[in-house]
Amino acid sequence: MKYAVSFLFFVLVTICSFSQDKKGGIVVRNKFLAASIQGNQGGEDAMRNVSIYLPPGYGESKERYPAIYFLHGVSTTDTEMFDWLGLKQLMDKAITTGRIRPTILVLPNSYNLYRGSFYTNSTLTGNWADFIGKDVVAYTDKNFRTIPNRTSRGLCGHSMGGNGALKIGMLFADTFSSVYALSPAVLNWSNDFTISNSAFKKTSKAKSAADILNVYDSSEVGFFAGVFSSLARAYSPDKNSMPLQAKFPVNYIGDSAVYNMEVIKQWEANFPINMIEANLPALKSLTALKMDWGRNEDFPHIPATAMQFSKKLELYNIKHFAEEYIGDHGNMLDGFEGRIYTELLPFFNTYLKFESDK
């Protein structure tokens, strides 16, 4: 997010798009039909892209590898995130220098009509949590030499993806053992993310989808109007509520706000901070959990709610790591001094099980 149960899928297309060098890994970009999105009522495409990094020597060996699943943020895609962060270069260097042993990295594409699924099962847009926890994992295990065990699967993400990593980490703790959330967004109401945000007035006045999408990135209000629309279609879908097929926690009659308590409760039930109590056994079963955020964050709710989330975990004796660093929403992610290279990859090197550990 930046300002601006069954194995029922079929592999339809394998796109011959890869990049490699003699010493580095390979990036494969494939497409498959996701059962969890298929048949949705919101017009979302069930054919999903996935970018997969295969470590050096993958083609010549018979070895099996752990897999890290990386969830992208709102208003971006798997390929954009892969290229923006320079993930191939970071993985190549990290493996060469021993920061992480050879590992598969998987970036599924969860960009949808309103630019973000928020990794939530929705009666309108499809089951996006299941897409990650079931479809993508099953596809990867079937088509690549993974170690098909939760102890060898890690889950991480940035912003909307950080939110998704925490949510899916709770819902699919039997699938993933280690979770890392980078600058997780919309964990709870706070600061810029509240029902008093003026972007709700824009969503209330929208006459068509274009009214939202055309201003999505043009201003702070436009950006949040797009995010709120994505959240509404995920958290409070209603196919009869036009034009966005969703209900909002607040609507406007003129300049007067009218609050919908039922919808507010629907949204709050989907905030990861309010999912902790119902998922305590799952959280306690994780091998490791870490979250971090920048003290100069562009979105003020992120440091505040990340700290709230950490304190609540501590209250319930959930072992985890939480760290604030000098940085903003995205300036300390990439590069060889960024959090992915210096923190995230070593974290998974420590806590995932590799073939050599057996």
Question: Which helix (H) or strand (E) segment is 259 a member of?
Answer: strand 256-259
108-130 burial, b for 16+ CB within 10 Å, e for fewer?
Answer: bbbbbbbbbbbbbbbebbbbbbb
For the segment 178-196, the average pLDDT, to the nearest whole number, is 97
Q: How far is CA 53 from CA 95, 97, 259, in A?
A: 12, 17, 46
Taking alpha carbons only, the member of 206, 347, 215, 354 closest to residue 288 is 347
Mean of the per-residue pLDDT values of the chain: 92
Long-range contacts of 12-19 (CB under 8 A, 24+ apart): 12/47, 13/47, 15/49, 19/88
For the segment 286-310, the average pLDDT, to the nearest whole number, is 98
pLDDT per residue as tens digits for the range 263-274: 999 999 999 999
The DSSP result for 317-342, as a single string, is: T---EEEEES--SSTTTSSTTSHIII
Question: Which helix (H) or strand (E) segment is 68 a member of?
Answer: strand 67-71
Higher pLDDT, 318 or 7: 318
Question: Which helix (H) or strand (E) segment is 78 a member of?
Answer: helix 78-85
Range from 2-6, 87-91, 183-187, 286-290 carrying the lowest mean pLDDT: 2-6
What would the two tokens of residue 241 be? 């509520």
pLDDT per residue as tens digits for the range 206-231: 888 888 888 888 899 999 999 999 99
Which fold would CATH assign to domain 18-188+272-357? Rossmann fold (3.40.50)
What would the two tokens of residue 7 be? 């194995």
For the segment 105-119, the average pLDDT, to the nearest whole number, is 96
Predicted confidence band at 8 (pLDDT cuts at 50, 70, 90)? very low
Distance of alpha carbon 124 from alpha carbon 315, whole angstroms: 35
- In the chain, ranges of CATH 3.40.50.1820 domains: 18-188+272-357
Res 358: pLDDT: 66
For the segment 101-126, the average pLDDT, to the nearest whole number, is 97
CB 336: neighbour CB atoms within 10 A? 14
